[in-house]
Structure 1
């Protein structure tokens, strides 16, 4: 393998790890909102505010893994085309921000 190919594989792995870290962080925030929004018990409001964050975290991990595998196959095949559009990444970022704001509103606004 050439040096550039190794560098591309390592960059792909770093990107995958970033997706995993981000997904895990969003998932943990969702679990924290579900549990700690009301210290006495898990309520319907805390579940409704934390569940979208948990689902978004899981989706980020799944999407990052799918993206990693797709890029890996293209790198192995020496396919020079770019990996695709930024649409799903931008949509995921917008969803995370929307869910965080929703969780904050449902948790702290009566």
Structure 2
């Protein structure tokens, strides 16, 4: 039971992170450049919204996969850190792209 609860907490952390990135993207798309909406702020916001949705989707996929392993009596471990590392790198890349879009057009 503890493993299932830990899996749920981890999935909720992925969901919170994805939602936070999407909220920053929405705010950026709406409030960048002093409240005016332009193509650069919409592009930068869209990149962050897409990255946040990707993080939330990855967290859900990971939650379901580990849930199946737990139901089959397997003991999943953190031996593979490739998924979380790639998800973190994707969010970092999205932030850099959004910043470059805003800086180069502003």
Q: TM-score, normalised by structure 2?
A: 0.87
Q: Which among 3, 6, 14 is matched to residue 8 of structure 1? A: 3
Instruction: Say if 2:45 and 2:98, in contact at 8 Å, map to a contact too.
Output: yes
Partner of 2:59: 64
CA offset at residue 40 of structure 1?
4.1
Of the three residues 94, 98, 104, the one matched with 1:103 is: 98
Work out whether 1:85 is the aligned partner of 2:85.
no
CA RMSD of aligned residues (A): 1.8
Aligned length: 105
> Which shows bigger deviation, 95-104 or 65-74?
95-104
Provide the rounded CA distance (Å) in 2 between the counterparts of 1:42 and 1:32: 11
**What is the deviation of 1:108?**
4.4
**Deviation (angstroms), 1:79:** 1.3
